[in-house]
Amino acid sequence: MAGEFSMRQSNPAVSLSEGGNAEISQGRAGKKGLVLVLLALAVCWGFVFNELRVDWTINPQYGYGWFVPLLALGVFRFRWSSRPDAVIPKTSRSPTLLAVLALSILLPIRLIEEANPEWRLVQWTHALNMVLVTLCGLYYAGGWPWVRHFAFPVGFLLVAVPWPVPLEQTFVQNLMRVVAGITVEAVGLLNIPAVQHGNIIQISAGLVGVDEACSGVRSLQAALFICLFLGEMYRLAFARRAALLGLGFLAALVCNVARTFFLVWSASRYGLDRMHAQHDAAGQIVLAITLLCFWGLAWMLKQRGTVEVIQRAVSTHPRVPPARFALGVLVWILAVEFATEGWYRLHEARVVENAHWSVNWPESPGNSEAVPIDPTVQATLRCDEGRAETWQDATGNRWQAFFFRWAPGRNSAQLASAHTPDICLRGIGYELTNDLGLRTVPVGNLKLPFHQYGFNRGPVQLHVFYCRWEDRLATQAHDLIEDGTKASRIRAVLAGRRHLGQQVLEVAISGPENPDEALAALERQLPQIIQR
């Protein structure tokens, strides 16, 4: 009996030891799975940010994008301390399948993105895809309470994605005109004669342009970014967050109207040189005042509208996916990148040099004159070579041509397509009357693709031709012309074209009465200025 009792006493100890080892093993597996999940999400978002960084670098409107990931991480950490209890769903099949579907379309997204780094639609698709994957992971870990609680920091990352081009162009152009119109009315109160031409203000001293910086579009985009963050930092109620956004937009608009008003007044009184010298300093002062306005508005709304944050102990722990599943996700993400790189490397081995040409500018004394390119435009385009010229031909037509060149690089195509005639000329008061599409103009054995436009500003009729040319060409795609359409973008992916050197020739003609006459004049003029 004593032996039997002894055996019975020892069995619980053995079972407790086995249970403890199992719990320790499960804890280690959970930590490993959690580390792999976090690493996979970091890699996923890292590739998104790697694509967006080009816009953050070359486009001053989106320079704030560098701070968005860090602030989103801080907001997530802030919400982590007040997270609700994890509610483990009865089944995780639906979010898992949804995440797998989102990850499966990552390969075509990356293939398209690599050939079209400036295509905003694909950038948004990539970012929304990662938002979906992240929310599915939160649902798996803690159910709907976690999805609702952490939705803001995940969605906040979308603030860093550039706006779709049609929306951005419409918004920017209209905003520049509004600021110019308000400024003209305001300076009129000081008896300063001023006339508005689109986003150009004409005064006795000359022309004052209202560009993206002066219009306040950068401040408005910064207002969206900063006011959303301040609303979260002060934990404002939803209605007060909406009020903060509206008041922030109004403050940004008022401050930038004040800046434009000051610059026009300065140009009228002291001349354009003095205005240009004060331009950057005025912008920095207005930026500082605008940021103080944002903070002051958030602080005032905080007094009564703050939602109290309660930090408490969490009784349930999140569910962690198996380490094998998390490792599989990480391997798939890296495989997508290797496959994308392999696809383009395979095609780049078969590319050939495209025909090289440059512009031989007219040298007729009295009829030809170099046009200085605005330093702001040159800095925005970041071209390696740029020149502009104006001249008059024997028939009396007035010509103006711009030639820009970018060396091969990741952002060459994006920079080359940043300022097309339908964007720039609308900004200075011209109205687009005709978009005649592509015209192939033969110059010797060259066939140059020109996009033809027609513009009017009052009685002035302007015919504009825009040509973008690449340095290299795939052997199986000699006739591939990328005109910005969705079909041409997909053909570029199939041909494996990326990171090509670019050059742009833009020609404006005034004098011909209709588009056909303008095209015929271009065909006669190009052989005289194009040099192989």
pLDDT reported for residue 16:
40
Q: Which residues pair with 449 in a beta bridge?
A: 440
Q: What is the pLDDT of residue 458?
A: 74
67 is written with which tokens? 């701070």
Give the whole-number percent of the chain exceeding pLDDT 90.
29
Number of alpha helices (DSSP H) and beta strands (DSSP E) in the chain? 16, 14
Between the CA atoms of 215, 216, 218 and 220, what dihedral angle is there, to the nearest 10 degrees?
-140
**Residues 176 and 215: beta-carbon distance below 8 Å:** yes
CB 483 within 8 A of CB 438: yes
Can you tell me the distance from the alpha carbon of 258 to that of 488, in angstroms, rounded to the nearest whole number? 44
Q: Count other C-beta atoms under 10 Å from residue 509's C-beta.
A: 22
- Residue 130, number of CB atoms within 10 A of its CB: 23
Helical H segments across 405-502, by residue range: 412-416, 421-427, 486-494
- Those residues of the chain that have pLDDT short of 70 are 1-30, 92, 211-217, 303-316, 363-366, 374-380, 410-415, 417-419, 427-429, 474-484
Q: For residue 414, what are its two tokens?
A: 């994006």
Q: What's the pLDDT at 471?
A: 81
Q: What is the pLDDT of residue 20?
A: 47
DSSP H helices, 59-164, are 68-80, 93-104, 106-115, 120-156
